[in-house]
Chain A
Amino acid sequence: MKKVWIFLSSMRFAIILLGVLAAACAAGSFITQGQSLEWYASVYSKRTAALIVALRLDDVYHSWWFLLMALFLCGNLLACSVVRLPRVLRLTRSAADPEALLAGPATVTREGVADPEALFLAMRMPKPKRAQVSGREALVSAQNRAGYWGAWICHLGILLLILGFGLGQMTHREWVAYGVPGRTCQVGDTDYLLTIDDFRVDLRADDTVEQYTADITVRSTLTGEARSARISVNAPAELFGYKYYQNSTGWAARVTVEKDGETLQDEVLCAGEYLRVTDLPDLAVYFNAFYPDYVLLEGRGPATASGSLNNPGYLYSLYYQENLVGMNALLAGEEIKVDGYVIRFSEPRNYTVIQVKRDRFAPLALAGGLVTTLGLLLALYVQPRAVWAVRDDAGKWTVSGLSPKGGVLFAERFAEAAGDVEKQTT
């Protein structure tokens, strides 16, 4: 039992877990995710496809085994952090303790130093403290002890990060709403109504899009309270605890249905939507796509020559009793005539797609990321160092330095500084 615990909290297990997780991530990036068995069979062989689905390689990042490994990593990190906390505390305390330093190992030592204080200065150490150790006079200076906390803090940050990400994955809520200005819809299954007040697409001179901006109002159906905001790409707004993102855009048009000169229906239809003729429910028109500057390219079908509304073209499909009966493009002045009904498309305009999201644990993940970064900074860039000097009977000093991370680099710097100091004193 004890052996199992030791293994589960060991760094060896951590390295294995990290290796397998990295391999899993790589596999998930090579195998297209979220496809059907048939799809994989058409790309790979039937056997491989079956294997991919059986091993959940079609959805690596949400598979039970990926989750299990992430949980193991969390347990491993937690155990290792608990086990190591006393050690880190002890290290931080003893790193400036004269008795502990004098008794412990040194990275480098130099005997016969006449002016130890100059050496402390040359090593850019803080002013040394005087102490008596076993009846000898000693000078001790320690620096960057916070570095001992780096790995521990980094591990804590990773723990928070995984926790925040995992909880967010399990509890986040997300919907998509779309429409032209004036449209109101319910936000998912919440008690809020979203109204699109305005939507603008700013184009540059060369027809490329500079920005999409929507003005929205969200109203609580419970309290009647309403709040408005302006959102654009890279600038979402938070209203009543939900975040609203300007996500993308598409084309919509006014569609009218007439019979015998009388207008029966007058609606705004977004591309990708159906309009059912209420008078004759067997008849429906589907708005496939819109081309602001319609051209028919040989061999490639309809396209748009520019982003400007020079030659609006509406691609539609006609359905009768759920069967496709026709498909065509309508240009300016053209109309669909069927069974005495006249269907017209006009007034093209942009609709907006708004993403609504709530992830209560995103701040926890962010905190985890920041703590991880801080820990790395401490672990890698705040290197603990100590320099101490002990006076011998002849009145000379033996100066030692300790830098667990600095190794030969520290030893070289120390030797150089000691050499300089000796040159100056002679």
Chain B
Amino acid sequence: MLQTENALFTIVMVLYFAAMILYFLFIAVKKDRLATAAAAVQTAGLVLHTAALVCRGIGAGRLPLTNQYEFATSFAWGLCLVSLVFIWRFKFPMLGAFAAPVIFLVIGYAAMQSREVRELMPALRSNWLGFHVSTAIISYGAFGVSFVLSIIFLLRGSMRDQGFWDKHVPSREKLDLISYRSVSLGLLFLTFTIVTGAIWAERAWGSYWSWDPKETWSLVTWIVYAVYLHLRLRRGWRGQAAAWFAVVGFVCVMFTYVGVNTFLPGIHSYA
């Protein structure tokens, strides 16, 4: 099973890379069919990626959501899933062109992690782990997409060849709303993550909140996006300012994800 997973993982990386190249060609050659092909390749990648995760789950005899490698590959999966949903829902293939490099970066990071399957320490053996980490994956994926959308928003003004870009990139007003949709998804799932994490911590560590750096940074991230929502309610803060805020929010997400493990000690450091 784990060998199958290994093989699938390599194919998935190739597919994500191919999708990225196709998206870039789409921008270079300006042929709509290339965007359709890129999205199709990305979808195929997602399907095989799902299969790879299932294989690993069967091979390890548990949910594949417990160490750096498993979380990184799942994060890439979440990003790919949420970006495809947004591409499809808002008929916005250009989103894929900007999301593909981020997805490839994350899966590349996953490839650098150790793929060894380790048995779980007792504190991690809980059903809450599944809820906690799977909601985190959707949340991170959605915040990743809001980050990509905000980058598109900030670049929108300087996009030349207006005919092509106008056709494939929505207006700034609409981009802002789509970004708001993805922040909403991310924030809702981050709330699920924090609540399930607190319930689990109460059972495993005897305390639902201990100001552990990972907890603290997920709270900081949560507050940053809550401020984003409030600023959007004030006139004049929609658009540009909100886009910058979503970028800052994603920096917090990334810090919670990798920075905390790298720079700060804590009880979360095994995951």
Indicate whether A83 reaches chain B with its CB closer than 8 angstroms.
Answer: no
Known: A209-B122, A243-B206. A366 touches B199 (CB 8 A): yes
Q: When each residue 181-220 of chain B gets 1 if its CB lies under 8 Å from chain A and 0 otherwise, what string results?
A: 0001101100110110011101111111101010011011
Residues of A within 8 A of B195 (CB): 369-370, 373
Indicate whether A319 reaches chain B with its CB closer than 8 angstroms.
Answer: no
Contacting pair A11 B230 (CB below 8 A) = yes
With the chains together, A233 CA to B120 CA distance in Å?
12
Contacting pair B191 A15 (CB below 8 A) = no
Indicate whether B31 reaches chain A with its CB closer than 8 angstroms.
Answer: no
Minimum CB–CB distance from A24 to chain B (whole Å) comes to 10
Count of chain A residues with a beta carbon within 8 Å of a chain B beta carbon: 49
Residues of B within 8 A of A243 (CB): 206
Indicate whether A265 reaches chain B with its CB closer than 8 angstroms.
Answer: no
Known: A30-B264, A234-B126. A408 touches B177 (CB 8 A): yes
Known: A15-B231, A234-B204. A369 touches B122 (CB 8 A): no
Contacting pair A233 B206 (CB below 8 A) = no
Q: When each residue 123-148 of chain B gets 1 if its CB lies under 8 Å from chain A and 0 otherwise, what string results?
A: 10110000000000000000000000
Indicate whether A126 reaches chain B with its CB closer than 8 angstroms.
Answer: no
Residues of B within 8 A of A365 (CB): 208
With the chains together, A82 CA to B260 CA distance in Å?
39
Residues of B within 8 A of A412 (CB): 174
With the chains together, A116 CA to B178 CA distance in Å?
28
Known: A211-B122, A236-B206. A380 touches B199 (CB 8 A): no
Contacting pair B206 A208 (CB below 8 A) = no
Indicate whether A109 reaches chain B with its CB closer than 8 angstroms.
Answer: no
Indicate whether A21 reaches chain B with its CB closer than 8 angstroms.
Answer: yes
With the chains together, A208 CA to B123 CA distance in Å?
13
Residue of A with least CB distance to B190: A376
Contacting pair B177 A409 (CB below 8 A) = yes
Indicate whether A396 reaches chain B with its CB closer than 8 angstroms.
Answer: no
Contacting pair A18 B122 (CB below 8 A) = no
Indicate whether B155 reaches chain A with its CB closer than 8 angstroms.
Answer: no
Contacting pair A408 B206 (CB below 8 A) = no
Indicate whether A47 reaches chain B with its CB closer than 8 angstroms.
Answer: no
Q: When each residue 208-227 of chain A gets 1 if its CB lies under 8 Å from chain B and 0 otherwise, what string results?
A: 11111000000000000000
Q: When each residue 6-44 of chain A gets 1 if its CB lies under 8 Å from chain B and 0 otherwise, what string results?
A: 000001001100110110011011100100000000000
Give the segment of B36-44, B66-74, B221-229 that binds chain A.
B221-229
Indicate whether A362 reaches chain B with its CB closer than 8 angstroms.
Answer: yes
Contacting pair A11 B188 (CB below 8 A) = no
Indicate whether B160 reaches chain A with its CB closer than 8 angstroms.
Answer: no
Contacting pair A211 B125 (CB below 8 A) = yes
Contacting pair B216 A29 (CB below 8 A) = yes
With the chains together, A11 CA to B231 CA distance in Å?
9
Minimum CB–CB distance from A401 to chain B (whole Å) comes to 15
Q: When each residue 56-87 of chain B gets 1 if its CB lies under 8 Å from chain A and 0 otherwise, what string results?
A: 00000000000000000000000000000000
Known: A28-B211, A234-B123, A235-B203. A376 touches B191 (CB 8 A): yes
Contacting pair A355 B199 (CB below 8 A) = no
Name A19's contact: one of B174, B202, B203, B227 (CB within 8 Å).
Answer: B227
Residues of A within 8 A of B32 (CB): none
Contacting pair B223 A21 (CB below 8 A) = yes
With the chains together, A30 CA to B259 CA distance in Å?
11
Known: A22-B223, A369-B198, A373-B191. A234 touches B122 (CB 8 A): yes
Indicate whether A65 reaches chain B with its CB closer than 8 angstroms.
Answer: no
Indicate whether B29 reaches chain A with its CB closer than 8 angstroms.
Answer: no
Indicate whether A274 reaches chain B with its CB closer than 8 angstroms.
Answer: no
Residue of B with least CB distance to A60: B211
Indicate whether B28 reaches chain A with its CB closer than 8 angstroms.
Answer: no
Minimum CB–CB distance from B192 to chain A (whole Å) comes to 7
Residue of A with least CB distance to B260: A29
Known: A212-B122, A376-B187, A408-B174. A29 touches B264 (CB 8 A): yes
Contacting pair B184 A357 (CB below 8 A) = no
Residues of A within 8 A of B199 (CB): 366
With the chains together, A393 CA to B110 CA distance in Å?
66
Indicate whether A61 reaches chain B with its CB closer than 8 angstroms.
Answer: yes
Residues of A within 8 A of B233 (CB): 11
Contacting pair A28 B216 (CB below 8 A) = yes
Residues of B within 8 A of A209 (CB): 121-122
Contacting pair A233 B227 (CB below 8 A) = no
> What are 21 A-to-B residue pairs whose CB atoms are below 8 Å?
A14-B230, A15-B227, A18-B223, A21-B223, A22-B219, A22-B220, A26-B217, A28-B211, A29-B211, A29-B213, A29-B260, A204-B119, A211-B122, A245-B206, A362-B208, A366-B198, A373-B188, A377-B188, A380-B185, A381-B184, A409-B177
